[in-house]
Structure 1
């Protein structure tokens, strides 16, 4: 009798184990299908929403989408504003996804709206303006008519490099009482992609040398011991030494402004892509660790506008910081070790699900036809607070495309 009970017990255990592993396998497959559905649905929505945006400005040939006012009305900018290249870049990504000729038509038209900025030399944002637009256009079409603008933009950006400070100047002035002699912002790391790409494509080592020198100077001066970064470092133009360390768009000078951390994460990841220098990989991993493991990062992985904001959790989230972080972590996951990669992808999947939900994504035709809502531009100046931001849309769509390619669906 005892033997029969033992046999039955063993049979039940075997069956239970089989059901458990079978159900785990099914759940894994279900999760994969679910993420595939989330990503593809978000891309389909983005195509339709961005076509509406393109149509809305078809009779205003000198303007591009920027954000909304507090009443939800579209605010536009001319090509000279730093965000001008993001909407054309979004369209190029959506053409890559959809192969929709109407999307391609609009992508080309809006790219041409920023063509004059290839000659911009009075700020560092030429990288955002031209590489996001013309860079993606050339990547997808290999049309040489786009390539010349990228070369000219690289030359323009290079004029802002100084051999004494060993950095590319971001703005020509600024700071309290205009004290900044040579301000360099963490955002500037993003524009190094233009220089690194151009160095390879046009066989010009000067572009690469400038980018590497700038990245090394930023690594030396912008980061604190906990791997968070300042927003602005101003250099003395005679000694070349860091003179002021500020966080202009964050809570205070020693706080970790969320989008600034994301710019740094993305910037050192792309520098590793081009150079394979382990120093850059380690820095990207350090920044990722600071962000992913920060106690003030919410469970849905959408950062507050500043990791050290005093009224957390009763303060604004920043969808733009989340989208940039998400896209950067996706690329970094391909370079780092397996443990880091798994942690990054877990964060990424939560971010994509959250940003694709009604909590952060607009309904079709709503909110001036932007894809995402709840971005924060410059809270201390009460500028662009809790509104859609064109660069949030760009990096969100880029993240969706990177996830899609990574998972091969």
Structure 2
């Protein structure tokens, strides 16, 4: 029986490695000029003068595929998405073509095949008529866009209101609306829905306060009590336990490690060692009981009014989980802030302060290992198709994870795991 188990595990490893190699080649293809004629042929027609194609962004989801966003400069700029992910069924405006790296699905922005409401949320006329309440639209800005996954658009109106439009995959908006009402009914500060979902677009009032990230930037959030964030998690209502459970960062570690390797192939040995250390440490540490959890708990999703938490954002992953994973998510993101922007000079001191308090609430060793896993998961997120020395930022994030696991000594702007009594 043990040999059968070993063979099965070995087969799964070989399958994953084979899949990873396919996706590495797909990613390289999408980032090369070889994909340019495929794009121009699809949108401008064969035989027409070549147009300039510029890659604007790339997204790699291990196990699913890779997606690129491109700008075609001809008579006017056109933005195009190309993905190796499987898109099932017929979608209007979407083209399919074969390449040496498998089927490519191509669309012109904003006709994202998985986000049917994106066209509605990016058209000024329909935004004004749908959510303007009679007020003139003065600005429309894309805050974030993850192709095939979600987008957030900010709409400003002449009456002073800012409305955030969250565009979700088909069938997901109603679920998100219910989550917000669940929190608001429990007096947990969260964005207030403007109205019912429309074509899988949820509109929210602007939350009060500034991002916790700004406080970390200014002085390491010196006036903020780390214990308040534990208390916020403890205030999540019991009804959260009835929502679907989702994997935490550490549960998806093999995929994140593969993504990190695709970003930093020269660091593969270091990345795989980190993966092995985390996977070896997880079973011998205490994860704690299953409790209501946020699922993506870090500084960008927390607004502050002075020293007080004023709004909890991005509750898509709300559900049953583990407190240690929420706290590790917070610490893993805090650890890599200097790798995001060198101005976060106060982040290491803030990390020490928050880690001491968090480690007193959960198993310290479990928290440390899981925070390192989160830091590793953020390595591939440093990728920037425009260059800008992103590889050094990615390696900085990798060193943060290594420091947290004790694989390399701390120094300068790297985090330091405090000795917790």
* Structure (1/2) with the larger helix percentage: 1
Structure with greater strand share of residues: 2
Q: TM-score, normalised by structure 2?
A: 0.28
